[in-house]
């Protein structure tokens, strides 16, 4: 009986994941062809915050492949060895002066984000693509950094917001030069968001795992909307990556998640996007996006603001003020 119940849950679930990941349009070959056709008249500059593993790695690798290495690529993250090994697989640039580099940053601390952003601003005058993917998976409760921000929210929202804010002048430079000027935050558009409490932004009083997940998703939605309203002409995208076989669970600090990874991943892997495939779909969503606020699914389709959007003009104003204060260290 129990196994029947188990099957009755697992089979529809797997079918659903399979349907979502593989049968929907556009197909991987369409997406790949679209990405391969990207051939800007300028040498693009792309920054991948969280590009040392998982989806960020997948997007950075796809970008390097399709530009044939002729792009200034900066991977920002904690793991230098991983970044260097990823960069070593990039096609070597043939355009003089173009580099692929790693910059170390633990994004959970805003002082690090500000320091790295200042360094990047000082030596990189224009940025065409700013991609933010850093993630942690944990089932532990609130865990504050020395700056008073929950670590998970810091990585999924506050650090991303601060990177965007501080690097935006360089993205505007690209826009003013008539080039691509786009920001992509990969988290949970259309799926993870939920109602947020405007009286407790940052969840100091009402932290729970569901509240934290809802807040991170909705804060990201509001973030792209707000930046898009303030900086017309630029693209701000919040995407949902779908189910990706990354090492998020494997490297979790929650034992039960690591355990589930060992048991479930072998079963689920065939139903998941590989890091490479996810990278192609996410890059497609990025390259295809027009100006303004864009929310995309795992396949890069724009779902607009109709589905599971919990923002409002008031939420926008209050979250901006709260975030500016919380990240101004």
Binding site for ligand NAG (CB under 6 A): 140, 143, 151
Query: Which residues have CB under 8 Å from 8's CB, separation 6+?
Result: none
What's the min distance (Å) between Cβ of 137 and ligand NAG?
12
What's the min distance (Å) between Cβ of 214 and ligand NAG?
20
The strand pairing partners of 224, in sequence order, are none
Q: Which is nearer to ligand NAG, 316 or 329 (CB)?
A: 329
Task: Look up tokens 């929907």; give the residue.
Answer: 24
Q: Which is nearer to ligand NAG, 15 or 140 (CB)?
A: 140
Contact present, 156 and 135 (Cβ < 8 Å): yes
How far, in Å, CA of 286 to CA of 269, rounded? 25
Q: Which is nearer to ligand NAG, 72 or 151 (CB)?
A: 151
What's the min distance (Å) between Cβ of 152 and ligand NAG?
10
What's the min distance (Å) between Cβ of 32 and ligand NAG?
37
Residue 243, both tokens: 């189910």
The strand pairing partners of 73, in sequence order, are 46, 100
Q: Which is nearer to ligand NAG, 158 or 284 (CB)?
A: 158
- Cα–Cα distance list, 328 to 58, 120, 161, 166, 281 (Å): 31, 18, 11, 11, 34
Q: What b/e sequence results for 103-135 when a residue is b if at least 16 CB atoms lie within 10 Å of its CB, and e otherwise?
A: eebbbbbbebbbebbeebeeeeebbbbbbbbbb
What's the min distance (Å) between Cβ of 151 and ligand NAG?
6
What's the min distance (Å) between Cβ of 108 and ligand NAG?
7
Q: Which is nearer to ligand NAG, 143 or 247 (CB)?
A: 143
Q: Which is nearer to ligand NAG, 114 or 151 (CB)?
A: 151
Q: Which of 170, 312, 160, 177 is nearest to 237 (CA)?
A: 160
């Amino acid at each position: 009986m129990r196994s029947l119940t188990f099957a009755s849950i697992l089979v529809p679930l797997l079918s659903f994941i399979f349907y979502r990941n593989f049968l929907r349009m556009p197909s991987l070959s369409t997406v790949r062809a679209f990405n391969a056709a990207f051939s800007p008249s300028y040498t693009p500059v792309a920054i991948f915050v969280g590009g040392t593993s998982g989806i960020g790695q997948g997007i950075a690798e796809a970008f390097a492949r399709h530009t044939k290495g002729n792009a200034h690529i900066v991977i920002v993250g904690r793991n230098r060895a991983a970044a260097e090994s990823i960069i070593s697989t990039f096609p070597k640039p043939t355009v003089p002066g173009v580099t692929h580099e790693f910059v170390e940053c633990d994004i959970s601390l805003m002082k690090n984000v500000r320091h790295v952003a200042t360094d990047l601003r000082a030596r990189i005058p224009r940025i065409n693509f700013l991609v933010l993917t850093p993630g942690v998976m944990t089932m532990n409760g609130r865990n504050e950094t020395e700056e008073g921000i929950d670590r998970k929210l810091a990585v999924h929202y506050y650090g991303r917001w601060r990177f965007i804010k501080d690097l935006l002048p360089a993205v505007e430079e690209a826009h003013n030069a008539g080039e691509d000027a786009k920001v992509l935050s990969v988290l949970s558009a259309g799926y993870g968001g939920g109602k947020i409490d405007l009286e407790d932004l940052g969840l100091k009083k009402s932290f729970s795992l569901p509240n934290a997940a809802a807040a991170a998703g909705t804060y990201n939605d509001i973030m792209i909307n707000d930046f898009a309203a303030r900086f017309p002409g630029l693209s701000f995208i919040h995407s949902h990556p779908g189910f990706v076989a990354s090492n998020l669970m494997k490297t979790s600090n929650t034992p039960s998640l690591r355990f589930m990874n060992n048991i479930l991943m072998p079963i689920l892997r065939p139903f998941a996007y590989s890091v490479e495939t996810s990278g192609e779909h996410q890059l497609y969503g990025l390259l295809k996006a027009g100006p303004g606020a864009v929310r995309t699914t795992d396949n890069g389709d724009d779902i607009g603001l109709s589905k599971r959007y919990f923002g409002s003009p008031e939420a926008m104003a209050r979250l901006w003020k709260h975030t500016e204060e919380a990240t101004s260290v």
